[in-house]
């Protein structure tokens, strides 16, 4: 594994600035999902309602809450959480297959993506082939 040395600049690069914008988008998207889920779970007692206490404090109450979310929403929420975590830890924007930087335009259009367009296309191609068999 070859690690490119990462030069840490004091000022945010354009890419990092974009990531912060994406992070904001992800946060509001998460909020929306949780609000929607909350609306459909309004019969639950109040302590189960997601509150904005920060990520660590909410993990336990969230778990039960998350279990009640429908599968698709839960998947998306997990992806959003993952993306936010990656942004925070500085690991965001790299393709998890080939390790290359994912085009920032692609990230903006699809912030939860973890693959560059080449790898994604390849994967979709493979999936389609599997379905055809």
Q: Which residues bind Zn ion (CB under 5 A)?
A: 95, 97-98, 116, 119
Q: Is 122 helix (H, G, I), strand (E, B) or coil?
A: helix
Q: Which is nearer to Zn ion, 65 or 93 (CB)?
A: 93
Q: How far is the CB of 99 from Zn ion (least distance, A)?
A: 7
Q: How far is the CB of 121 from Zn ion (least distance, A)?
A: 10
Q: Which is nearer to Zn ion, 23 or 106 (CB)?
A: 106
From residue 10, give the alpha-carbon distance in Å to each of 38, 91, 120, 130.
Answer: 40, 17, 33, 47
Q: What are the tokens at 55?
A: 């990520």
Q: Which is nearer to Zn ion, 97 or 104 (CB)?
A: 97
Residue 101 phi/psi, 5-degree rounding, is -65, 135
Q: What are the tokens at 97?
A: 């297959």
Q: How far is the CB of 48 from Zn ion (least distance, A)?
A: 39
Q: Which is nearer to Zn ion, 59 or 123 (CB)?
A: 123
Q: Is 73 left (phi over 0), alpha (psi -120 to 50) or beta?
A: alpha
Q: How far is the CB of 1 from Zn ion (least distance, A)?
A: 15
């Amino acid at each position: 594994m070859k690690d490119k040395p990462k030069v840490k600049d004091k000022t945010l690069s354009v890419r990092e600035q974009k990531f912060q914008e994406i992070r904001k988008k992800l946060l509001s998207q998460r909020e929306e999902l949780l609000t929607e889920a909350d609306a459909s779970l309004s019969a639950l007692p109040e302590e189960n309602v997601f509150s904005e206490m920060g990520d660590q404090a909410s993990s336990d109450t969230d778990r039960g809450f998350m279990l009640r979310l429908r599968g698709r929403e839960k998947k998306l929420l997990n992806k959003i959480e993952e993306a936010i975590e990656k942004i925070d830890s500085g690991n965001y924007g790299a393709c998890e297959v080939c390790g290359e930087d994912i085009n920032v335009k692609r990230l903006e259009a699809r912030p939860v993506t973890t693959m560059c367009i080449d790898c994604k296309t390849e994967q979709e191609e493979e999936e389609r082939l599997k379905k055809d068999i």
